[in-house]
Structure 1
Amino acid sequence: MTQREQDIDVLARTIWGEARGEGQGGQVAVGWCIRNRVEMDLHNDGKPDWWGEGYAGVCKAPWQFSCWNKSDPNSPYLHGDKPIPAAQFMQCRESAVAVIDGHEPDPTGGATHYYSTTMKKPPAWVKGATRTRKIGRHIFFKDVP
């Protein structure tokens, strides 16, 4: 598998784990949040950032995208232990390609973080962060301290 195909696969799996019920607009938004992390150099120092490098590094960084956590019910699907329904995965893959290839503009306003409105309360990191958008069941933020 080429690096491009690996990036598409990991991003599509993450989109499936985080936003499969959102429709393409919400899926693209989650994908762009990840792309924004991939492209950002937090300290403008050229060194690896705490949230990982590249699509696989960002998506699989511990405690960043919960679908990859071993305790998450989505984890066996993302690791290939259980099959992801083909139609759902194809839609997530299309969203991943649209994000990576820039076929869809960033709808998040440069967000690097989000949380789901299904959470009982917002995570602590929202304090001091700039809310950029609400898309579907996700609220997006940038400038997270």
Structure 2
Amino acid sequence: MSVNDIDRDVPSRIIWEKRAAKASLARLQSPGQSAIAWMTVIQLMVGEGYAGVCQKPYQFTCWHKKDPNYQFLIELKQILFRELAHCRVVANQVTDGKVPDPTGGTTHYCAITRNTPPTWAAKAEQAPRLGGHVFFRDVS
């Protein structure tokens, strides 16, 4: 599949948002960043292009208009260049197939800090915890 600039930019912004939610680039280590980027690759099977998949309703909550970082994702507020550049490197490595999937093919994730897990997590198989997120497979 060919990957255009938008398909590289959108996953980069999701990685940035997950890092921003943790308030520190160091808090979301590279395996966690790769895991988030891999979620876009795995979900690609249900959409058209990375951007289309990432921006589908309920795929990644950071694209909801009420999310506190949404203004950064749509470029109404500026993301620091070095931060977005780091996230773009991670996204490019994943979309170019240079980084293996650290989640083992999981399809869903949520933040470890959530007070109440999503309803779909009850019957799903829990996979590794990476970068402040817990990943799941066999979600029905």
Band of TM-score, shorter chain: 0.7 to 0.9
Q: What SS does the aligned partner of 1:83 have?
A: coil
1:23 aligns with 2:29: yes
The percentage of counterpart residues that share the same residue type is 43
Aligned residues: 133
Q: How does 1:10-89 map to 2 (within 5 A)?
A: 10-20=10-20, 21=25, 22-38=28-44, 40=45, 49=46, 52-89=47-84
C-alpha deviation, 1:18, in angstroms: 2.3
TM-score (norm 1): 0.85
Whether the 8 Å contact between 1:19 and 1:30 is mirrored in structure 2 is no
Q: Structure 1 unaligned runs (5+)?
A: 41-48
1:8 aligns with 2:14: no
C-alpha deviation, 1:136, in angstroms: 2.1
C-alpha distance after superposition, 1:66-96 (max 9, x if no partner): 1110000110000010001111101100010
Q: What SS does the aligned partner of 2:126 have?
A: strand
C-alpha separation in 2, matches of 1:93 and 1:132: 25
RMSD over aligned Cα atoms = 1.5
Whether the 8 Å contact between 1:15 and 1:31 is mirrored in structure 2 is yes
Which of 134, 137, 145 aligns to 2:132? It is: 137
C-alpha deviation, 1:23, in angstroms: 2.5
Whether the 8 Å contact between 2:111 and 2:134 is mirrored in structure 1 is yes
Q: What residue is the counterpart of 1:122 in the other structure? A: 117
C-alpha deviation, 1:34, in angstroms: 1.5
Whether the 8 Å contact between 2:33 and 2:131 is mirrored in structure 1 is no
Whether the 8 Å contact between 1:112 and 1:140 is mirrored in structure 2 is yes
Which of 108, 111, 118 aligns to 1:113? It is: 108
Q: What residue is the counterpart of 1:44 in the other structure? A: none
Q: Which one-letter code corresponds to 1:102 in the other structure? A: G
